[in-house]
Structure 1
């Protein structure tokens, strides 16, 4: 695993932005009294700036879990074969202007409420650390696996794995 500390925060944010753009669904993991709980969430269509935003309803288990322990993980699997694990701190946000900014009419079907409904809230995840894996092309990966198996080449690369810290 490599650590990319020499890059600026802005460069790290840009890297994460590129990794998660076009990812429609995220997996949000919260801490519960019984362990960890993961559920799918719709990623908001805004440019990543170091924070992630999600809509949810006020009376859900995830809101209670975040209020009791705000440590969360957000996972993405991208169709280009990149995998992203984001560690952060979540908070409940009840900001009408922000809800209207992020609202999409399609959410009415998902939540059965409109943007002004008081039961609709936002979850904001302040990103602290991101670990990602980029596999590269399928052909390259298959070739490298075959090479590793056939000639036991220690130099065979399977892609990039790095961690970036955003809370510095």
Structure 2
């Protein structure tokens, strides 16, 4: 198992569960979309409103896991999240038209936050093989 294998397997994976550390311990998970930006380079990008529980949890503890399932492959990425706020150039880079349904004012939505999950480890099971890759 190597990074190239993970990159190939991630190519068609958009939907995942994002898990963060909950207040008081435990884990919080919620479904998220890469907004069809699946050319994975080690970071995954997600838009959110700034006043959500996930943004608050990441602000307190950036440890994050992303769990993806493809047709015949499962991947868990572990890493740390960075919160990007008020960076309209970065927002433009990652914006897709489908996001307009969630954020009616587009990149000018008050409190808009871009969550970058920088993976440091990948675990893979399925068709490409089973293994762990330190990124």
Q: TM-score, normalised by structure 2?
A: 0.89
Partner of 2:80: 89
Distance 1:34 1:50 in 2: 27
Deviations 1:76-110, CA, capped at 9 Å, x for gaps: 0002x100011000110122111111111111112
Deviations 1:22-51, CA, capped at 9 Å, x for gaps: 222111000012410110111141521111
Aligned partner of residue 62 in structure 1, secondary structure? helix
Aligned length: 132
**Which is richer in helix?**
1
The answer to whether the Cα contact below 8 Å between 2:10 and 2:39 also exists between their aligned partners in 1 is: no
* Stretches of structure 2 lacking an aligned partner (at least 5 in a row): none
Distance 1:98 1:21 in 2: 22
The answer to whether the Cα contact below 8 Å between 1:113 and 1:120 also exists between their aligned partners in 2 is: no
- How do 1:13-162 residues align onto structure 2 when only pairs under 5 Å count? 14-32=4-22, 33-44=24-35, 45-79=37-71, 81-94=72-85, 95-134=87-126, 136=127, 160-162=129-131
RMSD of the alignment, in Å?
Answer: 1.6
Aligned partner of residue 160 in structure 1, secondary structure? coil
Question: Which consecutive aligned stretches of 4+ in structure 1 deviate over 4 angstroms post-superposition?
Answer: none
Distance 1:111 1:96 in 2: 14
Q: TM-score, normalised by structure 1?
A: 0.73
Distance 1:118 1:20 in 2: 31
Distance 2:122 2:60 in 1: 23
Question: Does the C-alpha gap of structure 1 residues 69 and 116 become closer, same or farther in structure 2, counting only changes over 3 Å?
Answer: same
